Amino acid sequence: MPIWPVKYDMIKGVIVPIHREGRSFIAVFLVATIFLWWLWTPLLVLGMVLTCWCIYFFRDPERVTPTRKGFVISPADGVVQMIENVVPPAELAMGETPRTRVSVFMNVFNVHVNRIPVDGTITRLAYRPGKFVNASLDKASVDNERQAVRMQTEEGQEIAFVQIAGLIARRILCNLANDQIVKAGERFGMIRFGSRVDVFLPEGVAPMVCVGQTTIAGETVLADLASDSLASDGEVR
């Protein structure tokens, strides 16, 4: 049996694609590393560590997205920080009725490429400038810079997701347009460097994840729009 396919798969598992937004940053880090080396040879180690972290931060691995109709897929890697009933951001014009909000917090070591949560059509985009407080705090949903997106599923249900800047995040990237038809798991943007993504579920839809659970963008199922099951419980084991 040839060993090359096995070796190739192993290499793919270690070396992942880099998001195009990271190329200029990596180049800057490389130049800075050379400069530090020129200043004082031992600083080369520091420069190499920072460059490796920059490459790691902008990694963009492939994901296997469940394609069953009705699944709401996590748009971000990270940890489920909060699950609460709150009114969606006013700029989305979704009314004053509270909806279940699932908040996924990304630290600086998570993959920061964001993905579409469900099949459907983008119906509204709204950017709002703001502060840069810790994204793990509840007030970040109100005070921080954010990019909100409302969409309608193929079955006519409304769902929204919001990219929220964090303490050291200074750039929200969203490559969507109004009336754009999208598929769950497709890449749509990213946030630099450490932040949060909120998902607002339709009324009556319970989340399938728990607070403290780790999510994988494009893979973890947050909810099932076709199910009337109760919210999930969880415990550390």
CA gap 42, 31 in Å, rounded = 16
Beta-bridge partner residues of 79: 105, 214
- Non-local CB neighbours of 221 within 8 Å, separated by 6+ positions: 66, 71, 72, 73, 74, 208, 209
CA-angle at 160, arms to 185 and 140, nearest 5°:
105
Six-digit token string for 139:
């007030």
Closest CA to 100 of 214, 218, 205: 205
Query: Would you list the DSSP string of 64-104?
Result: -----TTEEEPSSSEEEEEEEEEPPPGGG---SS-EEEEEE
- Non-local CB neighbours of 3 within 8 Å, separated by 6+ positions: none
Could you tell me if 79 and 194 are in contact, meaning their C-beta atoms sit under 8 angstroms apart? Answer: no
Is 195 catalytic? The answer is yes
Tokens 């691995």 -> residue = 61
Six-digit token string for 179:
């009336």
Active-site residue, selected from the candidate residues 195, 227, 229, 232: 195
> Which of the residues are catalytic?
195
